[in-house]
Amino acid sequence: MAECKYIALSHKLEKYIAENDLHGRLPGTAKLAAILGANHITLRKAVKLLAESNKLSVIPNEGTFIVEQKEKRKKYHVLGFVGFPLPEEQAEDLFEHLNERLAKGSYRAINIAGRSSLFAERPELLLEFPVDGFAFFGSNITRKIAEKLLEENLVAVCSINSNFPEFDHVGMDYKEGYRKGIALLQEKGYRKIAFLDLKRREEFQNYIADIHGIFQEKLQEDFDEDMFRIYDPFAFQEKFLGRYRTTMVEDALSVWRKNMPDAVITSGHFASIFKKLNRDIVVLEFASRRQYEESCADITFCEDLPRLLTESTKLLLERLTGKNNRKEKKEIKIPFIIKSRIK
């Protein structure tokens, strides 16, 4: 009976707070007990119960305070995809097929285009989109974005990165991809293998560090630190404008001129530049499907974009529908599709 009394009193206290639009500090125990017509012991139990459910906060020697409750975000049954690695018009077919499948479960997907740097600077802008969860591709998630999503209890999936343990991960298996890429070149007789790519933002610098370690592991005594080139895109863009990628390749070739590599592993943005400036170097690129279709690289490790989209969607839906409530996060690694133009 006593248990029922303090539970009933906790509901009565909640109603009193709501009806009187109270905020901040509650009246003292004696006054509040008189208002609610309860004894002090039952009131303390009711207050403790509300404090355990994070509706009240009891601060010793200061009093009992109302915890301001955030208004629950409306459910839209929409998934938002940020930084999908295809231009909006080329991604249209993939999203159209995805929405045909999602329609059976009353969900739909939207491709959130635009400058990812805008969300990095102002993560609160993501909250303006009518979505229930986000999937981030590549390096389009930042710590500030992650903190904002966690603050709002929004579900998210991101690319494989140990710096974001709070979320499920879906991404290309880049570690295995680089191991296979180097091994493929070695099988074809290439020993002096170089690397050129762009510097990543702070949260993704471990990506480059991982690749550096793989080069050392696979090349061993053939590894040359001068042949592992990382360039700051912002510094080069500011100085060389539209020629910044070409200038990076020119600078690398200048550094290598006395010890030119047999092959270079790079991203899709640089493949055609290498082929234009030095056709003797075999180029292995890591690229999206769009870049592969336009590429003149000798070997392409192509992202499986349809599967990236499908697996990201599955993980989001598992979290949103309650099929996966485990604290442990999932990690799905997708193998690259290998296209070779050399025998």
Listed in sequence order, the residues at least 6 apart from 87 whose beta carbon sits closer than 8 Å to its beta carbon are 290
What is the pTM assigned to this prediction?
A: 0.78
Do 276 and 266 contact (CB within 8 A), yes or no?
A: no
Q: Is residue 211 part of a domain?
A: yes
Same domain, 207 and 283: yes
Q: Is residue 72 part of a domain?
A: no
The CATH number of residue 40's host domain is: 1.10.10.10
Owning domain of residue 39: 2-66
Which pLDDT value is given to residue 217?
Answer: 97
Which pLDDT value is given to residue 291?
Answer: 59
Same domain, 141 and 246: no
Query: pLDDT tens digit string along 67-92?
Result: 876 667 789 999 999 999 888 888 89
Q: Is residue 215 part of a domain?
A: yes
Average pLDDT of span 102-106: 89
Number of domains in the chain: 3
Query: pLDDT tens digit string along 162-206?
Result: 999 999 999 999 999 999 999 999 999 999 999 999 999 899 999
Q: Distance between CA atoms of 140 and 262, rounded to whole angstroms?
A: 33
Same domain, 203 and 291: yes
Which of 66, 98, 115 is at the close of a domain?
66
263 vs 13 pLDDT, higher one: 263
127 vs 118 pLDDT, higher one: 127
Residue 53 has pLDDT above 50, yes or no: yes
The CATH number of residue 124's host domain is: 3.40.50.2300
Query: pLDDT tens digit string along 210-236?
Result: 999 999 999 999 999 999 999 999 999
Same domain, 183 and 213: yes
